[in-house]
């Protein structure tokens, strides 16, 4: 079995402060035996405005955020899934919202640029990620020692076809910053649905609290097994959740209910 962990944060506009928090929480996860750790979406910066992240966009392979993640993975000997960070895009006024993966040697092992960009308008709440983010174009996976890991981010959760395109995974990760409004209605049911229909583990690392910019994120970082059972969850506030990836459990689910083999489309 493999121990995995998700980091929950309440990120601020201060990149250095967020790095310090992530450093402490990843160390806590590693000390608890986790060999794969995921950070949440937007962990390095939750700005006072959506455009703040553009000023902190890094070029691939260079910058303090990436340096921290590589050092952290290498220092603890873990697979680190770096939530998301802003990378430069072809549009000077926008960024890519990117998940980078590092292996236990601190080397790049995977990348996924968020494809589906969140848009929501209800009452006093309004969000439009397309104003500051360029969408990605490619499905992201990587091979971990226990099997294939599928990469997705937050709003992707509402598009099941993305997960089918990943192929058969042992684990799907979902770093996120779900709003409290949408999260309280849909977060858990969507995560459980993705686990059930793909018969794999789902690890969701979330933002969870009220941020300095006034935004409230839902939290509820969790690990879900291939049967759709929630194994562990953290409601709000910063912290760490951990659990086991048991391939025997996954194999049993797929043998007893071979839905993936029964697909016709």
Domain spans of the chain? 2-256
Residues serving a catalytic function are 41, 114, 154
Q: What is the pLDDT of residue 60?
A: 97
Query: Is there a contact between 69 and 23 (Cβ–Cβ < 8 Å)?
Result: no
pLDDT at 14 over 90: yes
User: Count of alpha carbons within 13 Å of 9, Cβ hemisphere only?
Assistant: 31
Structure confidence by residue, pLDDT tens digits, 178-197: 999 999 999 999 999 999 99
Task: State the DSSP code for 52.
Answer: G
Q: If you average pLDDT over residues 1-16, what whole number do you get?
A: 98
Using the structure block, give the residue that is written with the tokens 């091979």.
143
Look over the chain and give the mean of its residue pLDDT values, rounded to a whole number: 97
Task: Tell me the two tokens of residue 106.
Answer: 């601190």
124 pLDDT band, cuts 50/70/90, is: confident
- Among 29-38, 120-129, 202-211, 212-221, where is mean pLDDT lowest? 120-129
Q: What is the pLDDT of residue 105?
A: 98
Query: Is there a contact between 41 and 177 (Cβ–Cβ < 8 Å)?
Result: yes
What percentage of residues in the chain have a pLDDT greater than 70?
Answer: 100
Q: If you average pLDDT over residues 101-116, what whole number do you get?
A: 98
- Among 11-25, 60-74, 120-134, where is mean pLDDT lowest? 120-134
What percentage of residues in the chain have a pLDDT greater than 90?
Answer: 97
Structure confidence by residue, pLDDT tens digits, 35-73: 999 999 999 999 999 999 999 999 999 999 999 999 999
Q: What is the pTM of this model?
A: 0.97
Q: What is the pLDDT of residue 123?
A: 87
Query: Is there a contact between 8 and 205 (Cβ–Cβ < 8 Å)?
Result: yes
Classify the C-alpha dihedral 202-205-209-211 as positive or negative: negative
82 pLDDT band, cuts 50/70/90, is: very high
Q: If you average pLDDT over residues 87-94, what whole number do you get?
A: 95
Q: Tell me the C-alpha to C-alpha distance, in Å, between residue 117 and each of 10, 49, 120, 124, 236.
A: 21, 17, 10, 20, 24
265 pLDDT band, cuts 50/70/90, is: confident
| CA 45-223-218 angle, 5° bins | 45
Write down the architecture of domain 2-256 according to CATH: 4-Layer Sandwich (3.60)
User: Count of alpha carbons within 13 Å of 128, Cβ hemisphere only?
Assistant: 5
């Amino acid at each position: 079995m493999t121990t995995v962990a998700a980091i929950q944060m309440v990120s601020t506009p201060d990149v250095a402060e967020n790095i310090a928090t992530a450093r402490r929480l990843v160390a806590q996860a590693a000390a608890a035996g986790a060999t794969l750790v995921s950070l949440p979406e937007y962990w390095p910066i939750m700005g006072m405005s959506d455009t703040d992240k553009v000023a902190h966009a890094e070029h691939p392979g260079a910058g303090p955020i990436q340096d921290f993640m590589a050092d952290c993975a290498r220092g603890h000997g873990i697979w680190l899934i770096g939530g998301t960070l802003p990378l430069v895009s072809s549009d000077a006024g926008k960024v890519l919202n990117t998940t980078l993966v590092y292996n236990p040697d601190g080397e790049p092992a995977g990348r996924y640029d968020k494809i589906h960009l969140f848009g929501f308008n209800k009452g006093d709440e309004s969000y439009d990620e397309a104003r500051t983010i360029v969408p990605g174009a490619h499905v992201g996976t990587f091979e971990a020692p226990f099997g294939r890991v599928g990469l997705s981010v937050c709003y992707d959760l509402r598009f099941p076809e993305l997960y089918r395109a990943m192929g058969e995974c042992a684990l799907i990760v979902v770093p996120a910053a779900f709003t409290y409004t949408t999260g309280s209605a849909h977060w858990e049911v969507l995560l459980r649905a993705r686990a059930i229909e793909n018969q794999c583990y789902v690890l969701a690392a979330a933002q969870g609290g009220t941020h300095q910019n006034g935004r409230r994120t839902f939290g509820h970082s969790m690990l879900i097994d291939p049967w759709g059972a929630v194994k562990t969850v953290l409601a709000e506030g910063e912290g760490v959740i951990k659990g086991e990836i048991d391939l025997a459990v996954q194999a049993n689910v797929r043998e007893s209910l071979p839905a993936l083999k029964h697909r016709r489309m």
